[in-house]
Amino acid sequence: MTLIAASNPLTRELAEKLRLRQAELRAMLQEAAGANIAGDNPPEVLDFKDVAAEETRAVVDEAAYAHATDELSRIVLALRRVEDGTYGLCEDCGEAIDERRLRALPATPFCTACQTIHERPGTPRR
Ligand SMILES: [Zn+2]
């Protein structure tokens, strides 16, 4: 019953968490986008050590940026499931996802069993 899922206190609690995280990630990504725009006016570079540090930071930022974008899209999808009343149900098998798993990973669309299948590489070992 979708009504039960939507009024479930756990769903409401986790939806609140997801919204907070969503706002956080949006702010972070916006800031990152702003920093890129500021590239028009680069700060003065003092020596090679600074250049190296700057480059390392850029790589780390890019990875963090990709990770944040990824997380944000999963959160958006999870919040959509909250709206649909399907939050907390596995997208693959339709079973209820374990509460402890949801608390640890509020944006997860899969139950533990299905996640294990997804994490397995496409070609099974023989
Ligand atoms: Zn499942």
Q: What single string gives the DSSP state of each residue in 78-107?
A: HHHHHHHT-TTB-TTT-PBPPHHHHHH-TT
Report domain extents, the chain.
2-119
pLDDT of residue 41: 52
How many A from CA of 16 to the centre of ligand 1? 23
Span 11-64, pLDDT tens digits: 999 999 999 999 999 999 988 777 665 555 555 555 777 777 777 777 778 888
Q: Rounded to whole angstroms, how far apart are CA atoms 88 and 105?
A: 11
* Fold type of domain 2-119: Four Helix Bundle (Hemerythrin (Met), subunit A) (1.20.120)
How many A from CA of 67 to the centre of ligand 1? 24
Span 68-122, pLDDT tens digits: 999 999 999 999 999 999 999 999 999 999 999 999 999 999 999 999 998 887 6
Using CA of residue 35, residue 40, residue 46, residue 50, what is the dihedral sign?
positive
Rg (CA), the chain: 20
How many A from CA of 91 to the centre of ligand 1? 6
Give which of 101, 125, 104, 103 is closest to 113, Cα–Cα: 101
